[in-house]
Structure 1
Amino acid sequence: MGVFLSLVKFLIKLGLAALVMVLLAAAGVYYTLEPDLPDVETLREIQYQTPLRIYSSDKKLIAEFGEKRRTPVAYESIPTDFIHAFQAAEDSRFFEHIGIDIKGLARAAVQLAASGHIQSGGSTITMQVAKNFFLTRERTFKRKFSEILLALRIERELSKEEIFALYINKIYLGQRAYGIEAAANVYYGASINELTLAQMAMIAGLPKAPSADNPISNPDRALARRNWILQRMHRLGYISDQDHEEASAAPLTARYHGADIELDAPYIAEMVRSQLFEQYGDDLYNNGFRVYTTISSERQEAANRALRQGLLAYSKRHGYHGPESQLDTAPTPELIASTLDGSTSYSGLQPAIVTAVHDKSVEAALKSGDTATVEWSGLEWARPYRSHNSLGPAPKKAADILAVGDVIRLSETEGGWELTQLPRVQGAFVALDPKDGAIQALTGGFNFSLNKFNRATQAYRQPGSNFKPFIYAAALENGFTPASLINDAPIVYHDTSLDKLWRPENYSRRFYGPTRLREGLYKSRNLVSIRLLRAVGIKTTIDYVSRFGFPLERLPRNLSLSLGTADLTPLEVAQGYAALANGGYRVEPYLIGRIDDPQGNLIHQATVPQICADCPTEQTMTDSRLAPRIMDSRTAYQMYSMLQDVIRQGTGTRAQSLDRSDLAGKTGTTNDQKDAWFSGFNRNLVATTWVGFDQPKPLGRREFGSSAALPIWIDFMQTALNGMPEEAPSPPDGIVRVRIDPSSGLLARPGQENAIFEVFRSEDAPTQYSQGTAGNDRSRGLTTEDIF
């Protein structure tokens, strides 16, 4: 008995000595590691790496930029079943322990003793937070002790709810998804509050092996782990028998969901990204900014549709260029699949391979594996392209157009499948709010994926007659009136700046004699514009038109300026027209309305100069809060009126189909029809469209601003102005409306039947009555030779 007691006492002393040694070792480790441990308080201000998201003004997602998909959520937003699923999978005693789980650590120690190296580690959720935010992933004793010490410190300074929120927002869950909200979006296209119990358990099973065992890369293993977690939830009392049975029997529904883009506006997204990148650099993709643009989703969709349809219509008018390629051998299912696998659909134009040709139809294999039948109504348009001015003979049967093995493009319409082709012509469209310059819609080409060059902001093209309104505005500000007469007659100039003789002509190659400015503008008479510029003076005109935002260095200092030979972008042209629409104020186009941080706090709000119609011109030119007045309000009213006649009786009459009286605008076509333009507006919206080839070449002899560009503008306005009441400008003080003789521009004689009304500044209104002969007391600056 004495021996036994002695042995017990010895063992107790040995145990106490071992315990002391362990405590001394632990104390040594603590005092060694503690000074180097990071400050846990930083977790309260943690900034997750969250992608840049860009939205329309009505909060539709346009784009997402960043390697990590993450949407942080608050603890209060997490469903209880989701919390229990993670507890079952990772740490069932999370809400009871002090940051470490003694049982788990003991289990890890036994594994270490048996295998000689660290295996499971016995990590709690708190320990994983410590590791994920502060430590490396190396498997060493030092890192493990640091992890334990940090976990204890985290538990002292943060609540369980804060710790859990940090965990579920930080963890990687496969497929570029970080955090449970991103995972719910990636795997199920839903928010965490919309998931089923089975789907929550599936996501809770991902932290163990997110890349290898997720339901997309390894569905069998992911399903097994999901069901194990459901079993654990049932055993822990988190779910009922029925819930367990139903969730375990649920099929696997996960599939990859890309970013849920709601609005197709890639040119806009790239403009925003590049603008902000200059300020933030690579941090832009991790700071979680939410950028709200000025874009209207409805108008952007209308612009996309109008431009694409307009370019496809042009392409169709000029014939079929033939298949994109031809298979070398008969199209077997394997060859079809391998060929189409590398093809991309662009704006609804799907790649296909012809598999059968009948008399009046063809059959084609689609990338999806389906077969499309194209009837004659979808083929008969395809006359062969010969040149920009000619087509081949009309086809009489399908074999005249296609052959088996042709790689083609098809589009699905209400009437069925139709043969189509990627247009070689390009275009751009931009719409602004003329009151402040907010960009409402913008597209820089047929398809961003096909060609990322943004023609709305980067294509410097000659606007042709689309520029004439600014020449006319300069004339009105320098003594001319809408009734001033300019002689439309042949003329030859030897201009030293052009270094050659110049014989300008009207497009019709006809001359019409003395012409009122109003008529010269709405009929787009070239010789009237040239003589007008010469009369006003090139320097005076350039100084004036530069107020509209046109860069001085791109305005030619010769008479060709009157025909629109300046190199301008569609956005710059639209900016100029905004001043004609808003009563004479210069506005700067802008795209970013607001930027929020990930928590929804405002970090940037656009502040733009405001139009003040009652403010003196001098004040608007010096007060940065005000949009500068760049033209007399009466001149702006006269220009609006004159440009309304372009639609009423000039080159823009097609726009009458919109059945509105408040529209104004101007067509534009350059030499050899290399560029086609239309810019038009009312008081609330201005839009410019351009059509042409990237490498300038003729569009075709029947392609003008009125035929190639104006239909696109009309299609857009049909949607953009729907439900918007008409709002024509009211005449400002100092404007008078006078009956004049259309031939002379003087006062109409009493009872004159062909008299018309014209608008004048009160001081410029004619005082002489017409005697039935041409003449005008306001033809200042013109010589006898110029008039006649």
Structure 2
Amino acid sequence: MSRMRKLTHSLFWCFLAGLALGAMTLSSFYLYLRPGLPDVEQILDIQLQTPLRIYSSDNRLIAEFGEKRREPVTIDQIPELQLQAFLAAEDARFYEHSGVDIKGLVRAAWELVSTGSIRSGGSTITMQVAKNYFLTRDRTFIRKFNEILLALQMEQELSKSTIIELYFNKIYLGNRAYGLQAAAEVYYGQPVRELTLAQMAMLAGLPKAPSAYNPLANPERALIRRNWILQRMHDLEYIGQAAHELASDAPVTARYHGAESALEADYLAEMTRTWMVERFGDQAYTDGYEVSLTIDSTRQSTANQALRNGLKAYDRRHGYRGPVAQASESDMASGDFQSILAPHESYAGLYPAVVTGVSDAAARVYADTIGPATMAFDTMTWARPFRSRNRLGPTPESPADVVSVGDVVYVEGIPMASPLSRGAAPSETPGPTSVGLSQVPEVQGALVSLDPHTGGIESLTGGFSFSQSKYNRATQARRQPGSNFKPFLYLAALEHGKTPATLINDAPIVFDDIDLETTWRPQNASGEFYGPTRLRKALYRSRNLVSIRLLRELGIDNTFEYLGQLGIDTSQMSRDLSLALGSGTLTPMEIARGFAVIANGGYNVSPYFVQTVRNSDGDVVYEAPAVVTCDDNCEQLTEGRPTPAVGFPAIQPAPRVADERSVYILHSMMKDVVRLGTGRRARALGRDDIAGKTGTTNQQRDAWFSGFNHNLAASAWVGFDQPQPMGRGEYGATAALPVWADYMEVALAGTEPANMPRPNGLVTVKIDAETGKRARPDSKNTLFEIFRTENAPEPVDIDATASNDGSNDSSSDGQMPQQLF
């Protein structure tokens, strides 16, 4: 008995010594690690990595940039069933323990011993928050001990609601989705409050292993995990038997939903991304900035479609280039059409398709994202074989003249409501639909429109498809504007004393100019010469020889100085007379800005596209300054005005750079370009406030149309990236003007006419159409013209015996004598 008592006594002291040693060890670890642990309060100040989001002026999502997709939510926004699903899967005793769940650790150990795997895990939600916010993922004892210490500390300083909210906003759930709301959008395309019970349980199964239990990568394993969670929810009495059975029988409905933009403006999105990184560094991708642009969603969508329609129309005028690939007989026999189409991308509503059959009336195709479809012959009649830019083959008479079985072609069609993914089986598609033969254009283009009073970009597209080419032709392509440049030259002439009635001889001219390195014999597009021509008529008829002589009279130096005054970049312009024909190079953006200066009456505005930038708290950290036009003393606009807290100027002066009277006269001359001249196709808009100018370079390498009313300016360009002739007849009025007109028809729909107000200091005088001088009473061919007061033609002596009641007045320009501009 004595020996037993001694043994018990010894064991007791050994036990106490072990406890003491353990306590000392734990205390030592605590004292060693505690100084290096972060303050729990820091967790409330940690900036969650939230992507950069870009919106239109009417709040349509354009793009999202950032490695992590995240949409923070509050605990009040999370349905109770969703919360219970996560508790069942991760930490059923969350509201009972104090950060570390001993029972949970024991249960995890038992599961490991009995099943060989841990389903529910030993870490509490609090421990996971500590790890996710503060610690590394190293699987070490020290890290685990830190995790426990932090969890205990967090439970003392933070509420349960705060901890679970932090958890839901930080946890990684696969496919770039960080946080619960982002995961709901990624897997189901809807907010978490709209998920079904089965979908909630599926998301709750992801934290343990986002890759292994991912319903996209491994739907069978994800289904097992989901149903286990549903059973746990039933066992914990979170749900009843009926709800459990219904959810357990539900199919896997997860599909990948990318950051779905509501507006396609990829070229502007890339411009904005670059702008943000230049100003905010790499934090632009992670700090949750939201950028609001100046663009209007309706005008942007219209610009996209107008340019694409114009490029496809050009492409069809020049014939069918044949299939982009040919599938082998063995590939066709396998029926694996998706593998055949895999190397070919879809672009802007054009989808690769393989021809599976040809009949007398149609072809059968299998199209990417569309599935089986019928391609009727009437969609192929345009497909004359391409021979060269100026020559086509015969018109096809049947589908067999155009396509063959195994041809990989591009088609136009409407994707199904549930697009067929490349991994889906053909049997999942519904019955055949109708598509039309198309092809991806080789020609490219750009369209830019601006608010002429501020310079704000209303719309911009830099090519047929951003996914096809990231090259932004609107801002990067320096091309010769051709006659699109002439309005700037004519404005310079008006500023230097010329008038719309000034006569310039349209006659042959030959230059032996050392700067041009050869003899230069410029011609009009028609190849004809028309003698003395008034400047108004020379502009709307786009007479090249008149422009050259006009530039010679003005002088190269004077003209360059005036172009610089207008803000036009002359760095890529030769200082010779070819300048009159637009031989220098400018981007579509620069051309559009120049036309905006004309449209607004002569004020120097600069294009911009970022209106506001807000941080993750909703505070404005950048706001574009208000553009204010001014005729003089522009510096006084900003004097005495406080700079906003965000550190950017509140006012951006737009000084006058052209005489408003000269600009008004130029407006009237450019309206005649639309009414009587090379821009006549724009009359289809049915508006009397439209002015513009066509432009075509040698051998039709570049085609332009730029035009405006007083409230909107736009410029369209069409050409090849590597300059080459576009073919006979492809002038600005043919290739570019339809793009501009399609855009402006929608952009101006429902708006009131916007004409530049007539300034003081102008007079309207009846002139002789042949001489440009003030009309005599006996003149037969007369019209009214506008002049600056100081440039009006001198009165003529009136013969007291002569009389003219005006009944013989006429106009060689086709305008009514009474019409004033």
Question: What TM-score results when the alignment is normalised by the length of structure 2?
Answer: 0.89
Task: Give the letter for the 1:59 counterpart.
Answer: N
Counterpart position of 2:482: 464
**Closer, same or farther in 2 for the Cα pair 1:577/1:82, shift >3 Å?**
same
Counterpart position of 2:297: 297
**Closer, same or farther in 2 for the Cα pair 1:117/1:507, shift >3 Å?**
closer
Q: Aligned-pair distance for 1:405?
A: 2.3
Cα separation, 1, equivalents of 2:285 and 2:7:
68
| Corresponding position: 1:557 with 2:575 | yes
Cα separation, 2, equivalents of 1:45 and 1:558:
63
Q: Aligned-pair distance for 1:125?
A: 0.9
Q: Aligned-pair distance for 1:275?
A: 2.4
Q: Which is worse superposed, 241-250 or 83-92?
A: 241-250
**Closer, same or farther in 2 for the Cα pair 1:770/1:209, shift >3 Å?**
farther
Among 750, 770, 789, the alignment partner of 1:743 is 770
Task: Give the letter for the 2:403 counterpart.
Answer: L
**Closer, same or farther in 2 for the Cα pair 1:706/1:767, shift >3 Å?**
same
Spell out, residue by residue over 1:593-632, the C-alpha distance to the aligned partner (whole angstroms, 9 max, x if none): 111222322221112532246x557868999731121101
Percent identity between matched residues is 55
Counterpart position of 1:207: 207
**Closer, same or farther in 2 for the Cα pair 1:750/1:190, shift >3 Å?**
same
Among 577, 590, 595, the alignment partner of 1:572 is 590
Spell out, residue by residue over 1:60-113, the C-alpha distance to the aligned partner (whole angstroms, 9 max, x if none): 221222222111222232222222221121112222322112322445677899
Instruction: Determine if contact 1:549/1:572 at 8 Å carries over to the other structure.
Output: no
| Corresponding position: 1:660 with 2:682 | no
Q: Aligned-pair distance for 1:191?
A: 0.8
| Corresponding position: 1:427 with 2:421 | no
* Pairing 1:472-491 to 2, within 5 Å after superposition: 472-491=490-509
Give SS of 2:492's match. Answer: helix
Counterpart position of 1:443: 461
Instruction: Determine if contact 2:478/2:585 at 8 Å carries over to the other structure.
Output: yes
Task: Give the letter for the 1:681 counterpart.
Answer: F
Q: Aligned-pair distance for 1:245?
A: 3.4
Cα separation, 2, equivalents of 1:85 and 1:450:
44
Give SS of 2:243's match. Answer: helix
Spell out, residue by residue over 1:287-337, the C-alpha distance to the aligned partner (whole angstroms, 9 max, x if none): 222222112111111011111110111111111112222234363244633
Give SS of 2:770's match. Answer: coil
Task: Give the letter for the 2:530 counterpart.
Answer: Y
Give SS of 1:665's match. Answer: strand
Q: Which is worse superposed, 63-72 or 705-714?
A: 63-72
Cα separation, 2, equivalents of 1:151 and 1:617:
61
Q: Aligned-pair distance for 1:147?
A: 1.0
Q: Aligned-pair distance for 1:546?
A: 2.1
Counterpart position of 2:534: 516
Instruction: Determine if contact 2:212/2:222 at 8 Å carries over to the other structure.
Output: no
**Closer, same or farther in 2 for the Cα pair 1:370/1:98, shift >3 Å?**
closer
Task: Give the letter for the 1:345 counterpart.
Answer: S
Counterpart position of 2:267: 267
Instruction: Determine if contact 1:579/1:586 at 8 Å carries over to the other structure.
Output: yes
Cα separation, 2, equivalents of 1:294 and 1:173:
35
Cα separation, 1, equivalents of 2:377 and 2:253:
42
* Pairing 1:326-725 to 2, within 5 Å after superposition: 326-329=326-329, 331-334=332-335, 336-368=337-369, 370-412=371-413, 416-612=434-630, 615=632, 625-725=652-752
**Closer, same or farther in 2 for the Cα pair 1:635/1:196, shift >3 Å?**
same
Q: Aligned-pair distance for 1:242?
A: 3.7
Cα separation, 1, equivalents of 2:255 and 2:121:
32
Cα separation, 2, equivalents of 1:247 and 1:110:
28
Give SS of 1:381's match. Answer: coil
Task: Give the letter for the 2:595 counterpart.
Answer: Y
Counterpart position of 2:188: 188
* Pairing 1:79-118 to 2, within 5 Å after superposition: 79-107=79-107
Task: Give the letter for the 1:706 counterpart.
Answer: A
Instruction: Determine if contact 2:370/2:414 at 8 Å carries over to the other structure.
Output: no
Counterpart position of 2:57: 57
Counterpart position of 1:777: none
Cα separation, 2, equivalents of 1:627 and 1:151:
59
Cα separation, 2, equivalents of 1:296 and 1:629:
27
Instruction: Determine if contact 2:541/2:678 at 8 Å carries over to the other structure.
Output: yes
* Pairing 1:215-230 to 2, within 5 Å after superposition: 215-230=215-230
Instruction: Determine if contact 2:373/2:434 at 8 Å carries over to the other structure.
Output: no
Instruction: Determine if contact 1:426/1:692 at 8 Å carries over to the other structure.
Output: yes
Spell out, residue by residue over 1:222-246, the C-alpha distance to the aligned partner (whole angstroms, 9 max, x if none): 2222222223223333334443333
Cα separation, 1, equivalents of 2:400 and 2:31:
87
Task: Give the letter for the 1:465 counterpart.
Answer: S
Instruction: Determine if contact 2:99/2:124 at 8 Å carries over to the other structure.
Output: yes
Spell out, residue by residue over 1:2-36, the C-alpha distance to the aligned partner (whole angstroms, 9 max, x if none): 99888776665554444333322221121111112
Task: Give the letter for the 1:80 counterpart.
Answer: E
In structure 2, runs of 5+ residues without a counterpart are: 416-432, 640-648, 800-821
Cα separation, 2, equivalents of 1:645 and 1:72:
57
Q: Which is worse superposed, 105-114 or 728-737?
A: 105-114
Q: Which is worse superposed, 482-491 or 91-100?
A: 91-100
**Closer, same or farther in 2 for the Cα pair 1:117/1:139, shift >3 Å?**
farther
Cα separation, 2, equivalents of 1:216 and 1:712:
42
**Closer, same or farther in 2 for the Cα pair 1:404/1:771, shift >3 Å?**
farther
Cα separation, 2, equivalents of 1:275 and 1:60:
19
Counterpart position of 2:646: none
Cα separation, 2, equivalents of 1:139 and 1:121:
14
Task: Give the letter for the 2:463 counterpart.
Answer: G
Spell out, residue by residue over 1:342-365, the C-alpha distance to the aligned partner (whole angstroms, 9 max, x if none): 222212222122233333432223
Q: Which is worse superposed, 662-671 or 586-595?
A: 586-595
Q: Which is worse superposed, 654-663 or 327-336?
A: 327-336
Task: Give the letter for the 2:692 counterpart.
Answer: G
Instruction: Determine if contact 1:353/1:405 at 8 Å carries over to the other structure.
Output: yes
Cα separation, 2, equivalents of 1:431 and 1:685:
7
Task: Give the letter for the 1:196 counterpart.
Answer: T
Instruction: Determine if contact 1:427/1:446 at 8 Å carries over to the other structure.
Output: yes
Give SS of 2:655's match. Answer: coil
Give SS of 1:291's match. Answer: strand
**Closer, same or farther in 2 for the Cα pair 1:115/1:307, shift >3 Å?**
closer
Task: Give the letter for the 2:457 counterpart.
Answer: I
| Corresponding position: 1:130 with 2:130 | yes
Instruction: Determine if contact 1:497/1:558 at 8 Å carries over to the other structure.
Output: yes
Spell out, residue by residue over 1:473-503, the C-alpha distance to the aligned partner (whole angstroms, 9 max, x if none): 0011111111111111111222232132221
Q: Aligned-pair distance for 1:452?
A: 1.6
Q: Which is worse superposed, 537-546 or 742-751?
A: 742-751
* Pairing 1:64-83 to 2, within 5 Å after superposition: 64-83=64-83
**Closer, same or farther in 2 for the Cα pair 1:214/1:326, shift >3 Å?**
closer
Q: Aligned-pair distance for 1:193?
A: 1.4
| Corresponding position: 1:317 with 2:344 | no
**Closer, same or farther in 2 for the Cα pair 1:445/1:117, shift >3 Å?**
closer
Cα separation, 1, equivalents of 2:638 and 2:137:
62
In structure 1, runs of 5+ residues without a counterpart are: 773-788
Cα separation, 2, equivalents of 1:621 and 1:105:
67
Counterpart position of 1:782: none
Task: Give the letter for the 1:383 counterpart.
Answer: R
Cα separation, 1, equivalents of 2:394 and 2:49:
61
CA RMSD of aligned residues (A): 2.7
**Closer, same or farther in 2 for the Cα pair 1:326/1:140, shift >3 Å?**
closer
Instruction: Determine if contact 1:584/1:631 at 8 Å carries over to the other structure.
Output: yes
Question: What TM-score results when the alignment is normalised by the length of structure 1?
Answer: 0.92
Give SS of 1:552's match. Answer: coil
Task: Give the letter for the 1:631 counterpart.
Answer: A
